[in-house]
Amino acid sequence: MPLIDIGANLTHDSFDRDRDAVLARARDAGVATMIVTGASREHSPRALELAQAHPGLLYATAGVHPHHALEYTDECDAEMRALLAHPQVVAVGECGLDYFRDFSPRPAQRRAFERQLQIAADLADRGDAKPLFLHQRDAHDDFVAIMKDFEGRIGAAVVHCFTGGRRELFDCLDRDWHIGITGWLCDERRGAHLRELVPSIPAHRLMVETDAPYLLPRTLKPSPKDRRNEPAFLPHIVEALARDRGEDVGTTAAQTTATATAFFRLA
């Protein structure tokens, strides 16, 4: 069953030396489609370039991660809008709030997030709605409040790399947001609570991602020496997810692929 990695940071420089081999290994492992995360002014156009070089295999998102919130100028906003006019750019983001690392001042994070939500609202208004690829860490209440301001004006949304608790999960599901699950699930220290929560996520809200090159699944054997994660490891995450959900791996694979195909309008 072909898999879809909904979050792969394939423009990251750790892939510069062997990007084609990484893509070939992903395909061999059954990862038929990867959504290349665009998370900054520098990397969003590169995500689109990569998708254009590999049509059908790769798609891109365009956005500015909260870590880069200070670069969100009017020019940056115009650049994101131009990228999002392209059919191979399938989602707005990565955008959101990160109060865990606080690499950018929180008011700047909120402003950059709101401006990208406004792009999503404008696209929906024009009949070209694109889903949102969202990042939230330690900022749940502000995140929900800002999203509420755009309720009814934006398309579908996925909270990628979900690592929160039960209240956060049900807040997301109550608002019909989708959930992206990464190899965080395979972390025996930090992922235990998540393993108990994943059976509660309805199949039509659940998608999978590596967040490569980050978040190498800790249970992967053998583990690559350089600790770099890559999309070829997605089946390992799907196996862990299927086990925790108490379903066979073919079911989890088929359902997450169907959900991602519909969410990103890939078919």
Q: Are 93 and 61 in contact (CB under 8 A)?
A: yes
Q: Which is nearer to Zn ion, 31 or 39 (CB)?
A: 39
Q: Which residue's entry shows tokens 């235990």? A: 192
| Helices and strands (DSSP H and E) totals, the chain | 9, 8
Cβ-closest residue to Zn ion? 135
Q: Which is nearer to Zn ion, 45 or 180 (CB)?
A: 180
Least CB distance from residue 139 to Zn ion, whole Å? 12
Instruction: For residue 188, count other CB atoms closer than 10 A to its CB.
Output: 9
Least CB distance from residue 44 to Zn ion, whole Å? 14
Q: Are 63 and 38 in contact (CB under 8 A)?
A: yes
Least CB distance from residue 106 to Zn ion, whole Å? 17
Q: Which is nearer to Zn ion, 135 or 178 (CB)?
A: 135
Phi, psi of 105 (to 5 degrees): -60, 140
Tell me how far apart the alpha carbons of residues 240 and 246 are, in angstroms, rounded to a whole number.
10
Residues lying near Zn ion in the complex (CB under 5 A): 135
Least CB distance from residue 37 to Zn ion, whole Å? 8
Q: Which is nearer to Zn ion, 15 or 162 (CB)?
A: 162
- Terminus-to-terminus CA distance in the chain, angstroms? 16
